[in-house]
Amino acid sequence: MFDRALLLTLVLLSCEAQNGPLFSIVDSKRRLVNDKTKLPIVQQVPQVSRDLSLDLKDMKLPTFISDNDRVELTDQIISEFNAGLDNEDITFSMSDLVKKYGYPIEKHQVITKDRYNLSMYRIPNNGSAVFLMHGLLGSSDDFAVAGPESGLAYLLSDDGYDVWMGNSRGNKHSRQHLDLDPSQSAFWDFSWHEIGCYDLPAMIDYVLQATKTSKLKYIGHSQGTTSFFVMASQRPEYNSKISLMVSLAPVAFLTHVKSPILRLLAPGNPFFYSITQSLGVNEVLPDNSASRVLRRLLCGVGALAKTICSNIVFLFLGLDFGQLNVTNLPVLYSHIPSGASVKQFVHYGQGVVSGDFKQFDYGDITNLDLYGSNVQPLYNLQNVTAPVSMFYSEADWFTDPRDLNKLYKRLGNVIDLYKVPYEQFSHLDFLIAKDFKTLIYLRLRKLLRHA
pLDDT of residue 60: 46
**Can you list the residues of the chain whose pLDDT is less than 70?**
1-74, 285-312
Give residue 242's identity as a one-letter amino acid code: I
- Specify the long-range contacts of residues 58-63, CB closer than 8 Å, at least 24 apart: 58/256, 58/258, 58/400, 59/258, 59/397, 60/258, 60/318, 60/394, 60/395, 60/423, 60/424, 61/260, 61/318, 62/308, 62/318, 62/319, 62/321
45-77: per-residue pLDDT in tens? 333 333 344 444 444 444 444 444 445 556 777
The model's pTM? 0.84
pLDDT of residue 261: 77
Give residue 429's identity as a one-letter amino acid code: D
**Residues facing residue 245 across a β-bridge:** 218, 388
Report CA Rg, the chain: 21
Domains of the chain listed by start with CATH number: 1-451 (3.40.50.1820)
Contact present, 333 and 166 (Cβ < 8 Å): no
pLDDT of residue 334: 87
pLDDT of residue 362: 94
Cα four-point dihedral sign 394, 396, 401, 402: positive
3-state DSSP assignment of residue 243:
strand
β-pair type (340-341, 283-284):
antiparallel
Residues with a known catalytic role: 222, 427
β-pair type (176-177, 116-123):
antiparallel
Among left, alpha and beta (phi > 0; psi -120 to 50; other), residue 249 is left
Rounded to a whole number of angstroms, the distance between the first and last alpha carbons of the chain is: 52
Q: Which of 118, 131, 143 is nearest to 211 (CA)?
A: 131
Pairwise CA distance, residues 311 & 333, whole Å: 7
Pairwise CA distance, residues 153 & 282, whole Å: 31
Pairwise CA distance, residues 269 & 245, whole Å: 31
pLDDT of residue 174: 97
Contact present, 292 and 28 (Cβ < 8 Å): no
